[in-house]
Structure 1
Amino acid sequence: MRTSLGSIAQTTCIRSMSSVSPPNVTSAQVPPTSGYESLSGFQLKPASPSYFTTNPVYNELIVNLDYTYSQYRPVTKPSKTAQRPNWLNKDALTVAVGVDALKTSQYRLIISKLNQLATLTPRPSAIEAIFSQFSKSEEQLSQKAKPRIVDHLGRALATGRRKEASASVYVVEGDGKVLINGQDSSQYFKKSQDRDSVLKPFKATNLLGKYNVWALVKGGGTTGQAEAISLGVAKALLTHSPELKPTLRKAGCITRDMRVVERKKPGQYGARKKFQWVKR
């Protein structure tokens, strides 16, 4: 391959220019700039990788709680009988964390991490500082919940929750009508087991057909909504007749079921199920 003399001369000129050291330029000769126009204006490296996530404040909190546990776990003795503080509710914890909103799953994860730290005994001052931020104060603990009463129309209001469903239930003496979001229970719930779940407190106390129910429910599926209404009905019945508590307790009507669907894991077919392994 032939090379022209002009290209050789040009290459030699470029190499000679690159070998010459650049002149000394003082800061007085360069006008001050800002932003990305100067080297001093480049964005600094974030202190934590959580900066690049969708919710950096929440993710940084989870990382710090895990790090605190791993740091003090070797020098303390975990105890399952250690007393746990009364944690803030979801709304108050959202404000304490400093985010706009927390999902229910995120709130439960934070509480589980805090409960994990609560098992460490004796508790270092760093853990006590975390607990003081996310636990209820003495003033909040002294505030008692308002007692449920029957209003001037003879209605008792109660709230029931199950999974992601939440229901506000009014119970009043009547002939046994059940309205859910303005519809009859037979129209709203197509499954007989969901309709039976709503009436379970009445059947357990032999009060079927003696009270009317009006419920507003949202969130979750039909099973969660039916069980949320059932819990609300049981609580409202206690407002009318507190002596029914042992019967409802024995039937399991006034204890909230805290079980939720386990989340799916990445790289798996479901929460526990793995993908089928194929040899060839």
Structure 2
Amino acid sequence: MALLCRRAASSLSVRPYFAYFRFFTSSAHLSAIKRPPGSPTFYTGRAAFYDYVAALERAINHTRGTLKILQLSPLPEFALRSLPSPVSAWKSKDELESALTAKLSASRHRRLVQLLNQLNDYRRIASTAGHDDLAQGLDRVLEMFERPDKEQHLRRGQRKPIVIDEHGRAYAYGARKTSSARVWVISSEYATAAKTQAGNASPPVTEILVNNMPLNEYFKIPADRERVLRPFQLAALLGAYNVFAIVRGGGISGQAGAVANGIAKGLAAHVPDVELILRRAKLLRRDPRMVERKKTGRAKARKGFAAKLLRRDPRMVERKKTGRAKARKGYTWVKR
């Protein structure tokens, strides 16, 4: 039995085994073996998106820890209200998709924007507190996600400031309903004299010309004149400035509102301290209300026709029916 085992062992050759090992350990075969991915997000199918999300979350955690060490987080409510308003101009959804080389659903885009807004809040805190190094580091992180035309995008909704020319005139544009007004506001002689002569006791006089006509001649209704003078009364500047206005379009009431809107803007340019008062009175903003259009079948926009006198009565005489004395009355049978 032992002899048979020795013969069987001698008959088996080890060469095929070593040849098999050399084949699978050759350099060509090792180069063909797939290496493990560098990031665990490879198996999610959206590696680029989750890599950016993980990087933003790490930046948020690091910044939050730094602000806690600096005793800047969390801030009380009054401190948060005193911070400058958040300003952001992130790339659009299509631009982010091209940058990440992946499709973004609405929920993923919302998650990415939430992380960017949180990091932007930390940047506001760092820049306001004077930690420029931390703010610049956050700038480098966020600039990859900001629009290339950020400055133009942020200036798009802002109004141009009213400039006072060399003659001391402030030009403003006012509007109300379909009326528009170009208004020039200039310091009156009373205001100039008050600066040079403190003892001048002459009453203040404001000259207002509308389409080259005095105010009381152009606006016959007292309510319209009160509407024009309301910015002066609220700002306590009655008599300090003269006004010249050119009005076009609409009716008298709309033109009075347009002139008042332009005067309020001009006064805010001359005296910035009264801007808050005029803004709270809603004089610096155009009144968005417009005249409602007339509806078909109605006398006006909503008014119906009074007492149906302007409309034909649709009732007609009912015809006589066969077998009846009239339309509905039957015959009366009398016994004889």
Structure with bigger helix share is 2
* Structure number with bigger Rg: 2
Per the normalisation by structure 1, the TM-score is: 0.48
